[in-house]
Amino acid sequence: MIRKAVFPHRKSNPISTAKLYEVVNSQSASPVSATEFDSLLTAVVQRNLVPGLSFDGFELFLIEEHAMWKAELNHEDKIKVGRKAASLIQNGMSIFIDAGSTTREIVQIICKRIEARSLMKIAVATPSVNHADLVSGCCVRMGFDDEFSAIRLFIPGGQVRPGTQAVIPLPTDQCQLSKIAEYLGGFDLGIVGANGVHAEHGFTTHENSEALNKIDILRTSKSKVIVCDSSKIGIALEKKFADFQDDVNLIVNADPDNRHFTELLDRYATKITLA
């Protein structure tokens, strides 16, 4: 409950401990006393149960979502978005798939389709070591080798970020993704995850090297798709990597109770595909 309650809050809009206590009590089967809540929150912080959480004793916010727990949040919505995005992938395509918990759902569907022999002759590039492991495991189970494989897998070189399990380029070599794209003649489809989507601020992520990955993926792809679950709608982070005026399409689950979602749909309906 703490992870879910804190998730929409970043440095610009932290949540107070009093408000968090109110949210937790509203969702608990039985009331939690103030003393119990303080003990719970202390344990969460001291045991680092929500990596990426900032807490000064009065307010909390997320510095960055962490791979250890973010896949658990809004999982059913991520599955819907993943299925819709995966439906765009056809035989013979070259695809670049960004790191992230929503894009992981897409990779899992790709593997199921390959194992069912309904998808073949594709090339997949990804900066995610987790995604690459899923695809590689699929190839092993299918007994593929260099002579025959329904899928070619490409990963860029560089450093692995422990919090997201994404490969980021070394400062001395910022052209890894472009080199893969050049080798494949460009990507037919680029699928990028977003940490924040806002009607005014566009598609945003954190100020780090993964932002460069997203920009490069979109730049080298003929068809550009951005995916996220609706919890990211209304969040604006430090680094914009795309805008609604760009040639992009957003795939997101419907969330009529989210005012930011309804505003976005009113303004950019032609740019949005609902999962």
- Residue identified by tokens 């912080």 is 45
pTM above 0.85, yes or no: no
From residue 273, give the alpha-carbon distance in Å to each of 115, 184, 195. 28, 28, 18
Distance CA 220, CA 136 (A): 24
Burial 44-83 (b: 16+ CB within 10 A, else e): bbeeeebbbbbbeeebbbbebbbbeebbeebeebbbbbbe
Those residues with Cβ within 8 angstroms of residue 173's Cβ, 6 or more apart along the chain or in another chain: 157, 158
Could you list the pLDDT tens digit for every one of the 275 residues in the chain? Answer: 788 788 778 887 888 888 888 888 888 778 888 888 888 888 888 888 887 788 888 888 877 776 666 666 778 999 999 999 999 999 999 999 999 889 999 999 999 999 999 999 999 999 999 999 999 999 989 888 876 788 999 998 877 877 777 787 777 666 788 889 899 999 999 999 998 999 999 999 887 677 888 888 899 999 999 999 998 999 888 889 999 999 999 999 999 988 899 999 999 999 999 99
Please report the domains of the chain, with CATH numbers, ordered by start residue: 2-63 (no CATH), 72-274 (3.40.50.1360)
User: Shortest CA distance to 65 belongs to which of 190, 180, 206, 217?
Assistant: 206
Tokens representing 183 are 């080798």
Sign of the alpha-carbon torsion through 145, 151, 154, 159: negative
